[in-house]
Structure 1
Amino acid sequence: MGITPCVIRQAATYATATDRKKRFATGSKRPILLKKSAMDSTAEKYALEIEIFTLNRGFRAQISRSCEQKKAFSAVSTRAVWKDRLFQHNRPKAGSGQDDGKAKASGSRVEFPLSVVFRTTSVATVYRQFSESASKSECARYFRFTARERNMIGNTQPHSTSESSHILTRRNLLQAGMAGIAVSVLSPWSLWAAPSGVLVNDVTLLNPIWVNRLFAPRTTDEIQQALAMWSGPVSIGGGRYSMGGQIATEDSLHLDMRQFNQVVRYSPESRVIRVQTGMRWRDLQSVIDPHDLSIKIMQSYANFTVGGSLSVNAHGRYVGAGPVINSVRSLQLVLANGSVVEASRTENADLFHAAIGGYGALGVITEVELDLASNVTMERQIHCMSAADYPIFFNDQVRGNKQTILHNADLAPPYFDQATSVTWRASDKELTVAERLVAPGQSYKLNQTLMWSVAKLPGGPLIRKDVIDPLRYLNHPVVRRNYEASADVASLGPIATRNSTYALQEYFVPVAQFNAFVKQMAAILQAHRVDAVNISIRHTQGDPDSFLSWAREEVFSFVLYYWQHVSVVDREEVGTWTRELIDAALSLGGTYYLPYQLHATREQFSRAYPDAPRLFALKAQFDPDKRFRNKLWDKYYTG
């Protein structure tokens, strides 16, 4: 009986060492013959998976490669006898220039040339020829069969290309494969012949979530078609810089928006641009910089996607600008029923104010129209002072100065009583940095070493206070606005390791409560011996219109950057002091930010976001089946 591969599926998945290890160590329930990992981008690594499924009689064979098995598999695959026998059929003629079809060990994974897929005529052939040069234990390690399937293989003999038409010849398999790939290109939603079982995680690696399928759309029509073809939960992810599962939930269709990144319309004369929301700020900067234009409001780093920033209603260091919603003219939203609506302050205003900062609760933000600003020249100015004097300094020197573009202040734990003000003001001085944008892919070994020394070495904070910061702020660079705004998060170094991670939290308090919160925050962090690395202070005007507004009045924000271990006990300890900080902010009339670890109780969430019922009412209206989900709404949505 022949067991023939009959479906070829092509899918893009985000691959990390962690999810590869878990995926192949635990075993997948779907039948996989071979996998080829390829396709690198400048930001992160994808895998182009070519999988052959054997559908006849429920055959579930799989080549399994956990991290521990890869070295052994590489050793077996390089045996000349196995390579010769496995690929002796249909071998290209000498001098033909074609790939010789030999498996190659490449670093952390074994790669099979795509041609191998089309030369292998059955799973039985692979297993039988592999077993001729490998031991029984090696066979059991890489091929998983039921007893019935192993018996089927034992009874299966090699077939010539002239035998029954039930066995695919190489030519037929090639034709079927190319047809399948062509269909997948023309109809991406047809790729869902079987669950993909993709592991989705964020930069902290604290929130591994197995989604059912992953789809990387490129057009709004593809998103609509995906929603029509899929009836289960839907989650949305971009740069994956949130830190609490806001990008996914179990068994969902995960929309990976990073390929949804085109410019829709651009008018340099009007300083307006409309883009797909999977575009990263850094890519948008490359479009507008030649016209000496700059993004009006964004975070301090340019790695984030536009849609992700909208979903959390991000803010930055832009003085007087407020959150990103203040730079948005309009947006396009795909709802749960697949309909496409345009929303602005005058059209579908409720959807506009609920979708921005709504963490994907209502639908997929697919396009956004943004106001732009001038790419002015700026000079950096540094002032050190007592933390208690900072509110007066800000009011006198920063708020009323129309030349001020960017501003923040830093507290360097454990020296919570001292503040360093960092201000960028418009200047007509000669540039000290000629580059217009920070080039991607740079080496930041010095920055990373300094960050590590501050966070990990005994006496690191003192070294920062007396050595690193004085040297870092010695000069007064003059740069273009886009250069400072195009900073790469890679400069911070690796975010997560197997046993630890850096993470963020953020709290907002009314300007009058600045000193009171600094005292309470310092007491809590010191009492719990938190490994706090830095606290960045920003200012923003009130945003009373957003449904999940984190600034219902003028506030100072405190961005806490810290380091933690990742065991269950460590996470519980982080949760304890996090809830204390939330209570401190709430007691002063403030709130906390939602993109981070979900340690807040439901009661704290309700107190911090009293207008959440308005968002939930809209969700009940436009998403009654609760299709759009993630771990944030799994915990706090009460509809």
Structure 2
Amino acid sequence: MSAAIAPPPASTLHLNDVHSGLNRTAIAGLLQPRSLDQACAAVRDCARLGRSTIAVGARHAMGGQQFLSGGWLLDTSGLDRIVDFDPERGLITVEAGVQWPALLAWLARHPGNVRGWTIRQKQTGADGFSLGGAFASNIHGRGLAFAPFVEDVESIMLIDHRGDARIADRERNAEWFALAAGGYGLFGLVARLTLRLVPRTVLRREVALLRVGELMPHLQAAVADGCTYGDFQFAIDPASDDFLDLGIASCYRPLADAAPDPSPRHLGGEDFAHLLRLAHVDPSRAFAEYAAFYLATDGQRYGSDSQQAGVYLEGYHAGVDAALGHCGSEMITELYVPRARLAEFMVAAADALRRHHAQPIYGTVRLVCAERSSMLAWAREDWACIVFNLHVRHDPAGRAAAAAAFRALIDEALARGGSYYLTYHRHATRDQVEAAYPQFREFLRRKRELDPDRRWDSDWFRHHEALFARAGA
């Protein structure tokens, strides 16, 4: 057996996703390579032994794409090196297990980074995500005029189902690149990525309290006036007339010849814990306190990379459970609608959430631009993106109720010519998947053709394959 493969544990190993805790999965074991050669050897060993595997990184995704029931997982955490840096062109090559804080720290201290290169975007709300996972789910941040993460990637090194490593980009092995971007690890392990960096800038936060009907004109004017990042945090109390309507719009404007504030006001861990608890028990007060804080930070200056950092409170729900008297957590869904139909969608979403007695804990609106580089592209056009973090009770009735609420939100987005993000859950029906992703049948067909022995597999893939099999696809 290869040294890259850990021996089977004495008892069944269970893993779960970090955020929702709703994907407890029994696996056979972990493959733990520490180098590119070991990763290739691990995949070859799986092929020789007739095993399937899937890559697992920081375990934040909630759709089961990084888990394989009864199978072996390829843990990328040991692939954590910076491989190459081109300070002239602003390109950096990293291994898949590198997480955002390590990359930013490396760039900040590197003596050759005299131009101040940094990342363009990352997920917000947390920092401990792997870059391989970011590419596999084709993430986005809160840029006002950015396409998803695939457009920040110059090339990848992909380990295919035979254990062979190949370079893929938009010209070499172009189909593999398009399938791996947002392909959830089903076409191979993205062992390395070469990123296009951008110069670090200083941004001024500009904050306004708005109604959702005012939001799109406000954001469009901000983009036209040079703002590069922004979002809108909306009220979350279903009992309030402000529900999904009133919100805090924060835009970030680049400043020339300015420095970040040395000690800006910010929400720390205790502040977020307090607000999260309030969001469960007194959501109107939670929004009022959050809005008051953000209004007080109008005019503060931040680095364009540091303003994307987020405090993540792992395990915070234990205290919330005690207050609520039941076990639960939050689960995310992300919807997309044409920008002109955002206000209309929010009215319909508010009605759907009330109808299903859903409890939003957090919600935001962002903008995303279309991309044409990935096969399973979710950003087919310039969307308004709406994120809901819903409280889910962990009993069967609570999980069923949450699933119904998520499906209702997808229906409202589809009814307005929109879509949804595949990453966060597996609650969509087959009709919803196909309406949002008309290319999904082709995605499944190419998977069967390019990985005939099913070396790469996951619970996410098994679920969606079964959905389409039942439909005779």
Q: Same fold (TM over 0.5)?
A: yes
1:344-493 matches, within 5 Å, as 344-395=169-220, 397-402=221-226, 404-414=227-237, 415=242, 416-428=244-256, 431=259, 433-434=261-262, 444-453=269-278, 455-457=279-281, 460-475=282-297, 476-490=299-313, 493=316
* Structure-2 separation of matches of 1:487 and 1:466: 20
Q: 2:83 aligns with which of 258, 264, 268?
A: 264
Task: Supply the RMSD in Å over aligned alpha carbons.
Answer: 2.3
Change over 3 Å in CA distance of 1:545–1:191 after alignment to 2 = closer
Q: Please name the residue that 1:338 is paired with.
A: 163
User: Is there any run of 5+ residues in structure 2 with no aligned partner, and where?
Assistant: none
**Distance (Å, rounded) in 2 between the aligned partners of 1:195 and 1:511:** 53
**Structure 1 length normalisation: TM-score?**
0.66
Larger radius of gyration: 1
Provide structure 1 residue ranges, at least 5 long, that are not aligned to the other structure: 1-183
- Cα distance in structure 1, aligned partners of 2:329 and 2:386: 20
CA shift in 2, pair 1:383/1:429, >3 Å: farther
Q: 1:545 to 1:271 in 2, by over 3 A?
A: closer
User: Do the aligned residues in 2 keep the contact of 1:444 with 1:491 (CA within 8 Å)?
Assistant: no
User: What is the match of residue 436 of structure 2?
Assistant: 608
Q: TM-score, normalised by structure 2?
A: 0.89
Q: What CA distance in whole angstroms lies between the structure 1 residues aligned with 2:25 and 2:39?
A: 21
The answer on whether the counterparts of 1:330 and 1:342 sit within 8 Å (CA) in structure 2 is yes
Q: Quick check: 1:435–1:483 contact (8 Å CA) kept in 2?
A: no
Could you tell me whether the CA contact under 8 Å between 1:429 and 1:478 is conserved in 2? no
2:158 is paired with a residue of what secondary structure?
Answer: strand
- Equivalents in 2 of 1:210, 1:541: separation in Å? 38
Partner of 1:289: 108
Residues in 2 aligned to 1:305 and 1:435: alpha-carbon distance in whole angstroms: 29
> Is it true that 1:547 corresponds to 2:375 in the alignment?
yes
1:223 is aligned to: 39
Residue of structure 1 in register with 2:97 after alignment:
278
Q: Assess, with a 3 A threshold, how the Cα gap between structure 1 residues 274 and 435 changes in structure 2: closer, same or farther.
A: farther
Number of aligned residue pairs: give it: 445
Q: Give the AA of the match of 1:421.
A: A
CA pair 190-296 structure 1, distance change in 2 beyond 3 A: closer
Q: What whole-Å deviation, never above 9, does each CA across 1:335-384 have from its counterpart, x for those lacking one?
A: 11111111101111111111010011111111000000111111111012
User: Quick one: distance in 1 between partners of 2:315 and 2:26?
Assistant: 28
Aligned letter for 2:100?
W
Partner SS for 2:177: helix
Alignment of 1:159-198 (within 5 A): 187-189=2-4, 191-192=6-7, 197-198=12-13
Q: Is the Cα contact below 8 Å between 1:237 and 1:247 reproduced in 2? A: yes
2:261 touches 2:301 (CA, 8 Å); kept in 1?
yes
User: Secondary structure at 2:348's aligned position in 1?
Assistant: helix
Change (3 A) 1:190 1:631: closer
Q: Pick from 202, 206, 212 the counterpart of residue 17 of structure 2.
A: 202
Report the Cα distance in structure 2 between the residues aligned to 1:348 and 1:367, rounded to whole angstroms: 15
Find the aligned partners of 1:193 and 1:234 in 2 and give their Cα distance.
14
User: Any idea what SS the aligned residue of 1:489 has?
Assistant: coil
Distance (whole Å) between structure 2 residues aligned to residue 429 and residue 381 of structure 1:
18
The separation in 1 between residues aligned to 2:464 and 2:338, in whole angstroms, is: 25
Q: Is the 8 A contact 2:56 2:76 kept in 1?
A: yes
Partner of 1:306: 131
Distance of aligned partners of 1:303 and 1:433 in 2 relative to their CA distance in 1, 3 Å threshold: farther
Query: Are the aligned partners of 1:413 and 1:532 in contact in 2 as well (CA < 8 Å)?
Result: yes
- What CA distance in whole angstroms lies between the structure 2 residues aligned with 1:191 and 1:595? 28
C-alpha contact 1:276 1:366 (8 A) present in aligned 2: yes
Inter-partner Cα distance in structure 1 for 2:359 and 2:54: 32
Q: What is the distance in 2 between the residues matched to 1:573 and 1:485? A: 33
- Looking at structure 2, the residues matched to 191 and 239 of structure 1 have their Cα atoms a distance apart, in angstroms, of 19
**Number of the residue aligned with 1:538:** 366
Q: Secondary structure at the match of 1:473?
A: helix
Once residues 531 and 193 of structure 1 are traced to their aligned partners in structure 2, the CA distance between those partners, rounded to angstroms, is 41
Q: Shift of residue 630 of structure 1? A: 1.3
Residue 152 of structure 2 is aligned to residue 327 of structure 1: yes
Relative CO higher for 1 or 2, CA cutoff 8 Å, sep ≥ 6? Answer: 2
CA apart distance, 1:421: 0.8
Q: Which amino acid aligns with 1:235?
A: I
Identity of aligned residues (%): 23
Deviation digits for residues 382-422 of structure 1 (CA, Å, limit 9, x no counterpart): 01222112112222x222123x1211111112322223211
Task: Measure the CA separation in 1 of the matches of 2:338 and 2:420.
Answer: 12
